[in-house]
Amino acid sequence: MLRRCMSTVLTLGGSVNPPTRSTYSTSASHSAAVLKKITYASRRTSAARNSLAPQSLASPEEPNHVNNTPRPEAVPSHIELPCTHIHTSATPLESLRQFLSQSPNQPVHYDASTLSTHFTSLVDSGQLGTLPHAHLSALISIFGTLSIYPTYPTSYSHPCAANIRVGARQKYWAFVSRLRSQVESLGAEPTHSDRYWAMRSHIAVVANTVDGTSRHDAMACACDEYARIREDTAHPDVHAPYLEALLSMPGPAPFQMAVAALCEVLGTDATGLSQDRRMQAILRCIVLQSGHAIADEWKEALLSACVKLARRQAEAPSQLGRESSAASDVDSLADLMTDATLLPAGPLPSPPTRAWAHAQAHAAFVPSIPLAQRWNSLVLLSLFHAVPTSDRARLGSVLQGGNERLLREAAATGWHVVLVLAIINKLFRPSPTPCSRADEATIRSLEGVGKALWTHWRAWAASGGAQGIPVHVSRIVAAAFFRLAAITEDVSLAAATDRHSTSAGIWRIQAARDAEEVKQIADLATEYIAASLACETESLDHLLAELHVSYASCWGLLIVQIYENLCKRDALLAGAIHERYRTELPMESNHALALSLAQHGQLTMLPAFARDDRINAVQTRELLTAVLLSIAECQNTLLHPAVAAMVGTMMKQSYASSPPLKQHRAIVQHGLTVLVSSHHAQSAAAAFESIYLSSIAFFSSQFILRFMPALVKHRQHSAVARIVEALGRRGDRVMPPLRTVVLVGLTRGGASTLAARVDRATMRWRRRDTMVRAARAIRFRMGRPAVATTLRISSQAPGYITDGPAVQFAMRILLRGGRTAAAAKLFRQTDGQLAAPMRTSLGNVIIDRYARSCARAGARQMRKVLSVYKFLVSHGLVSDRITVNTLIKAILRWRNAMDKGKLKVLFDHMVRHGYPGGAGLAKGDVPFGTSTAEPVFRLPTLDGGMTFEKHTRPLLKMFIKAFFVRGDVMAAKRVIQILKEEETAVMAKRDKKRRAKKAKKVWIRPSSGGS
């Protein structure tokens, strides 16, 4: 079939007037060209086409017809179905007739652009009058269905729309308006379906037009169409879009029209209207949006409609078969009370609770009660259903203006108290995210609401309203007050609720083995524990001991239920319960809590779960995956030592038998990197070996090239040697660069035997690498290379004088072999061959060697260091901060000349030149408060950038050691504090930057299968 879009422009919404003829006109030659591009399956379909009559279409000519056939799903293009195709000689009229008269057993598939082109051809040729009205109505319904699908299919949706092939979803409202105008021009009476889609096209203009005049005109047209069909249908598809459009219009007149229309709709006998979510949302919008602006007669009409509707629904026999269930919290109790008014679909409660809830609900809407009080009841009801669960963003809007006054000054009835408690409960459900400052201010404003509610509840109970109240309802209300006390940290409210609960006897349990009653007590105890801890009136151990003594006969069932409740609302508190009653709790609940803790980033509490002997391999793998995902998402640089040990052990044990899934590669590789940085390189290496031995191709080459140097840096030489020997069997391009990195690293680390073994094992991956040749020349013994081997280095070095890293490696070998003159000569030879930063690095290596040359420096050693420094400067050395740090290292080792006072002067001098001095210092202040006099030694100018690892941390560590050596413990501790503060600030800044960079990264992608 042809799938191109036609040249006709189908606008989105647009004007409510029919488009001009030129907009949709197309040439006859273009129509012929389009038809010639359509292929056909067989000639026999032509005879079948002639046998199809227009009467086969569902009769839209009936005035009251509503097509209740659900809209079928669009047929995928790769599924072949028996379908009717159109002959090349068929005219547009014949093609439209064949498509609109199709049989369900032989569907005809068409493009929306081709269908509209055929209609335009009929208009241009004057043949539109020969098309039956039924077919015009079908076209209106088809293009209306295409304009709203798949958002909300209606009862007027046409089944043939499933056979329309469209590219990107479009809106055809302008074309629907044109079809509707053609029906009127032919003098035919529009059907209900025609008027419905015309109303929807006008509503689309209201929604998508900014101009006020156009919106007003379109709304007037929609009102006219709605007036013709509203009395003969009770489908929400007709009423809801119209009422929503009215409420979107500015001004009081459309709002009053919406109120009148809603009262009329609710006053009909169609009870199904109230169960439609859109109609309930419209009622809530009217009640909450401008409740104070509604006239008293309209308020009375809405209340009467709701009460009549509730009475009819309560008597409906269809509800008698619904099963019973018990209310578990104040939200479900409020739902039961709502059940007597708007009746949301759901199971009926147990008889005592249901009877009480219905009695309270009916009492709230008795006509003898003043109108203002009944209207407030409806406002509370709407507010309860309008508040999404745990929507902290709605706090300000819900508790502003008259709503807060309504919550505080609600009438002293059980209906109002329960609904207000339910509203607060929905707003402040336990959340892992902390409250913002705006939330804290709102919580403070709720303190008065809680006390007022408690006063209302006690007054209502004292007046006789509490007679006959089920004990289950009393427990639910008490638990809600405990939760409100925990939210507001109101000690007096928590104490009053506790005293009343004890005196009323709602803590007493009738049957210790009754699971339902134990659950009620556990729910109440959970809120009591949370309130006591929030108000800091009791300790957790004392609360648990008190409950254990009171419920010794059912303690096992009770503590398990309390634990499961806390797992859903407060993972940290549940973790504290787990530490005390680990063996009494079921493993399934422990595992669920561990996964929740990992999801919320509370990793320090997980080692106790991982050590549980009852955990199986599947649960271990699930917990490990959750932990690795949390580490990746949090992007922390370091892990707690216990967490790092747990992760290393779990990875080694879990992945030894079966490798992780491919889609977990990113989190596994990140977890190994964090393990190494958390000083658990040995565990990381063992985990890497376990995974690699079970799946050679799991790790990426880029990760291996990053991971091996990290292991070498943390001196995991034996593990690195084993891994490299195993990687030799991998046989990919990672081996040549990896061989160089590992051999040089092992040589620098002093692992000469392992380096020689790796060199032999990876000989086939060798290449002409200068640094490896130099390491092999000294037999990988860099600590104390033999003099004969260093002669080879000094003779070979001029051959790679332009390779900075190789020259630096050679210079270190010469210095460690005692060939200082050869190192100085090599430095002179690099003049003009290497860049200034690289030559500075070479000079720093020479200075550092002289600064370390003796155990205790003196004046002679200091003069030697300074003479070497002047020699290097004369041959082009440009000093940097590392050069200054190296000179300070030599100065600090001169104990006789540098006492404690001079050390403090020198440290303050470095702080004035950009090094950190600790938090809380004012501008210009220094840690030790010394004067700005000239220091003992004149240091080079401190220019250039400064990093924590290369500059700040080495300098601070040198001063810490120097102060300790000289016995100044207080000064050393002050510098330690500065180092910790700076490290924390740097790591936090890096973690924040890393988290922002990785915020949108998908760590686990769906996999097509496999490991």
Q: What is the pLDDT of residue 954?
A: 92
| CA trace torsion 261, 264, 268, 272 (10° rounding) | 30
| Torsion 230-235-238-240 (CA) sign | positive
Q: Are 777 and 799 in contact (CB under 8 A)?
A: no
Crossing angle for the helix pair 717-727 and 701-713, to the nearest 10 degrees: 160
- Extract the residue ranges of the chain whose pLDDT is less than 50: 1-89, 291, 313-314, 316-325, 340, 342-349, 390-397, 399-402, 432-434, 436-438, 1008-1011
Crossing angle for the helix pair 437-460 and 491-504, to the nearest 10 degrees: 30
Q: Which two tokens stand for residue 898?
A: 């540098």
Q: What is the pLDDT of residue 935?
A: 58
H/E element, 566: helix 555-569
Instruction: State phi, psi for 103 to the nearest 5 degrees.
Output: -95, 145
Q: Most distant CA pair in the chain: distance in Å?
A: 117
Chain segment 4-31, per-residue pLDDT in tens: 333 332 233 333 333 333 333 333 333 3
Question: In angstroms, what is the C-alpha Rg of the chain?
Answer: 41
Q: What is the pLDDT of residue 939?
A: 74
Q: What is the pLDDT of residue 1010?
A: 40
Contacts of 73 (CB under 8 A, 6+ apart): 162
Q: Which two tokens stand for residue 84?
A: 């009717």
Instruction: Residue 283: name the closest of 378, 398, 394, 406 by CA.
Output: 378
Q: What is the pLDDT of residue 165?
A: 64
pLDDT-above-90 percentage for the chain? 7
Chain segment 584-602, per-residue pLDDT in tens: 777 887 888 888 888 878 8
What pTM, to 2 d.p., does this model score?
A: 0.59
Contacts 24+ apart (CB under 8 A), 275-279: 275/343, 275/344, 275/345, 276/236, 276/240, 278/236, 278/240, 278/244, 279/236, 279/239, 279/240, 279/243
Contacts of 707 (CB under 8 A, 6+ apart): 669, 672, 673, 676, 688, 699
Q: What is the pLDDT of residue 18?
A: 37
Q: What is the pLDDT of residue 2?
A: 30
Rounded distance between C-alpha atoms, residue 960 and residue 129, angstroms: 99
482: which strand partners? none
